[in-house]
A and B are shown apart, each in its own frame.
Chain A
């Protein structure tokens, strides 16, 4: 059974740092790109960052570029999001998400669709 367990959220002051983790199981982790997606309270979904299966290429939303770093440890089947210089507008439920395994004709040049999500971990940035 595929599982993604998000953790590491909490209350942090503006300007502070936090590291989120996403523990994966039930599939071959390094065969899949992974993303972080967030949802501010009462709002829609916002893509944050994506990292390829080998960990070599990362993309970021402009709103977090230079402040957040996505990484993965394939030996531990874990995805991370290091967040620094946090702002009140970063307050959200953060989901990790697995992408479908790459398959010719089913994925664009920018990658594949997300197909499975963790339960989310809440980050609150407030003084």
Chain B
């Protein structure tokens, strides 16, 4: 199975900060990576797919990069609505594994 490791597990930041979350795969997954945002008690929401393609309707302050085994999700200027937990998921192979999540908290 492909293991997905996110870092950090928790991130404390302020409104306006630039935030970067890293996701590492245990083997190459090309660009077959998605990023999701989840707020408490809600369903996840797709932000980025194929590592860097912004899903329709998602604000442009979100961006994704990387290929192979190392990927990043960047929020260019953190907004109040962005405090949530973020997950990466590979869809290169089954089982489709998720990272353990990164919780973005208010500093």
Contacts and interface: CB of A to CB of B under 8 A. Distances in A.
B94 A108 contact: no
B91 A113 contact: yes
A115 B89 CA distance: 12
Contacts, number: 67
B99 to A, nearest CB: 8
B44 A110 contact: no
Query: On chain B, which size bracket covers the interface?
Result: 20 to 34
B93 to A, nearest CB: 5
Majority SS at the chain B contact face: loop
A59 B95 contact: yes
Contacts of A117: 43-45
Contacts of A35: 96
A47 B95 contact: yes
Interface in A59-108: 59, 61-62, 95, 100, 106, 108
Nearest to A116: B46
Interface of A: 35, 44-47, 50, 59, 61-62, 95, 100, 106, 108, 110-120
Given A111-B91, A113-B50, 4 more contacts: A47-B95, A95-B43, A113-B91, A120-B43
